[in-house]
Amino acid sequence: MHTVPTVFNSSVLIRDHEPDPHRQISVCEVRDRGPRGQVFVRGVRDRGPRGQVLVRGVREQGLTLVELIVTIAILSILASAAVPIARFQVKRQNERELHRDLWMMRDAIDKYKDAADKGAFQTKVDSQNYPPDLQTLVDGVDVQGKKLKFLRHIPVDPMTSKPEWGLRSMQDDPTSDSYGGQSVFDVYSKSQGTALDGTKYSTW
């Protein structure tokens, strides 16, 4: 009795009751076995001398060891490439914050001086109407019974992660790191780092 192939779900069902040793069939992939031991196959390869079905190229689902190693290697390369980009983005964001913080404090210093120049309040003689420190800008000064404030808070330097800033008075050299203490004419970052444009943060 010859083997009778029938189509089942785009597969070939081989009923292997009385195999014909002279009949050669091939199997590309074993799909499943039926309740009576039938073999669901696709693509025929060949049959053994005793009628057994020989399956070649059968492959289970999943990754082989080689594929897994290659996948891990590719992911490692992508991850190593992403790290410098992430660091660049963080640094650029910190630089934007530094620009904003410096502008905010310098604007507060200028507003304090403008108010003092207009006689809104009294200042020390040698201060040239600049604030004595940054905290004064936060605490404010009394003007006709009301508190006049110029700064909500002293910001944290994004480059040092500390609310500490370099200060200069009118009497100090513009490039000096020393602070005379007479007043606060300007502020700068204490970071010695270099920006993306090649300049030093302390010179901003």
The top-scoring range by mean pLDDT among 1-15, 32-46, 166-180 is: 166-180
Please work out, in degrees rounded to the nearest 5, the angle formed at the alpha carbon of residue 163 by the alpha carbons of 162 and 166.
100
pLDDT in tens, 145-178: 899 999 999 999 999 999 999 999 988 888 888 8
pLDDT at 96: 97
* Closest C-alpha to 120, from 153, 152, 145, 154: 145
What residue ranges do the domains of the chain occupy?
5-54, 88-203
* In contact, 160 and 98? CB cutoff 8 Å: no
pLDDT at 73: 87
Percent residues over pLDDT 70 in the chain: 69
